[in-house]
Amino acid sequence: MSSEKSAINMLIEGILAGEKGALARGISIVENNRQEKEELVSLLYGKLGKAHRIGITGPPGVGKSTLTLQLAKACRAQNKSIGIVAVDPTSPFTGGALLGDRIRMYELFNDPEVFIRSMATRGSIGGLAAAAAEAGDLLDASGKSVIFFETVGTGQSELDVAEACDTVLLMLAPESGDSVQTLKAGFMEIADLIVINKADRDGADKTEIEIKTTLSLREPQEWEIPVIKTIATQNEGTDEVVRHIEKHYTYLKHNHTLEKRRREKLVRRVKSIVRSLLHDAFWTEEKLSNLKKIGESESVSNRSPYTIARDLVRKFLQE
């Protein structure tokens, strides 16, 4: 028991010192939802809040990895230490094809001030977003000043990962289809910056006009979303993206919006942990085995799952 304790303490010391090996072990604990996770995250919790968390999201093939690499290099040129968490919840269909893009990131792999981690766990998308956020906590505690969360995928998981960030950069490309549709589908609410990558391709100007028109239809906002054109493969436009990212961070801090967003994040995480604790308290071995028996005998009965669930919960709350 005491050797366990000291193992965690040693791990925490290593993470606080920014050691790559300790960070890798810590993130594995978080990713695999291991028993030590809660203690690890809780003990590091007082050390958080220094890193700027940047989410980079957009459809597959739009150039997220390439731009992330360029942004990371630009931050290194400013002598900032950085973390990169590449989240890929869509592995079933796209995992293989994207691996090649990732490999280019390893240009930065030998830099002691850069930590790169790829996360892809199927089985629970919500769980993956939570694990990515906690990996961000570990990187934050380790002293990284900028953390990039690159999410390859679509839909809800993108939004979940983005919710854990301070600044969200939405990347589109001239060929990525109906950009306006993407914006309307919930991404306008989470995007702080919009980047049109592959700006040398046909249709880039049309895409820009469409996006700006859609944005102009909104109510006036305190933060107006800038639209920036880049050619990430040629490192064109990266400096402008960096400038806007920094400008957004200044806006967040000046405006108490950073505080507000982080409080909202705390509330969401408490809710998610409560859900999991209630699940564990409710589903005792006995209840699980009873449920299985109900499943076995109930096949011809008319009790709906709602009726069964209500009965179980009523009994639980009366106990």
Pick out residues in 143-202 that bind its own copies (CB under 8 A): 153-159, 176-178, 181-182, 185-187
CA 98 centroid distance within chain:
18
Q: Cα torsion for 170, 176, 180, 183, to the nearest 10°? A: -30
- Min. distance of Cβ 285 from its own copies in angstroms? 15
Q: Between residues 59 and 63, which has the closer beta carbon with respect to its own copies?
A: 59
Give the Cα separation of 109 and 116 in Å (integer).
7
Question: 227 with 208: CB under 8 angstroms?
Answer: yes
Phi-psi region of 148 (alpha: psi -120 to 50; beta: other; left: phi over 0): beta
103 binds its own copies (CB under 8 A): no
273 binds its own copies (CB under 8 A): yes
Q: Between residues 123 and 220, which has the closer beta carbon with respect to its own copies?
A: 123
Q: Between residues 219 and 296, which has the closer beta carbon with respect to its own copies?
A: 296
- With CB under 8 A, what is the number of residues at the site for its own copies? 71
Q: Which of 2, 220, 292, 318 binds its own copies (CB under 8 A)?
A: 292
Give the Cα separation of 30 and 35 in Å (integer).
9
Q: Between residues 182 and 230, which has the closer beta carbon with respect to its own copies?
A: 182
Q: CA neighbours within 13 Å on the CB side: how many for 177?
A: 7
- Min. distance of Cβ 64 from its own copies in angstroms? 12
Q: Which stretch binds its own copies (CB under 8 A): 68-76, 84-92, 194-202, 244-252?
A: 84-92
124 binds its own copies (CB under 8 A): yes
213 binds its own copies (CB under 8 A): no
209 binds its own copies (CB under 8 A): no
Q: Which of 104, 201, 212, 310 binds its own copies (CB under 8 A)?
A: 310
Q: Cα torsion for 18, 160, 261, 30, to the nearest 10°? A: -30
- Min. distance of Cβ 134 from its own copies in angstroms? 10
Q: Between residues 191 and 245, which has the closer beta carbon with respect to its own copies?
A: 191
315 binds its own copies (CB under 8 A): no
100 binds its own copies (CB under 8 A): no
Residues 236-243: contacts with CB within 8 Å, 24+ apart?
A: 236/199, 237/195, 237/199, 238/67, 238/70, 238/71, 238/74, 239/74, 241/67, 241/71, 241/169, 241/193, 241/195, 242/71, 242/74, 242/75
Give the Cα separation of 274 and 256 in Å (integer).
27
- Min. distance of Cβ 316 from its own copies in angstroms? 8
CA 308 centroid distance within chain:
36
- Min. distance of Cβ 310 from its own copies in angstroms? 7
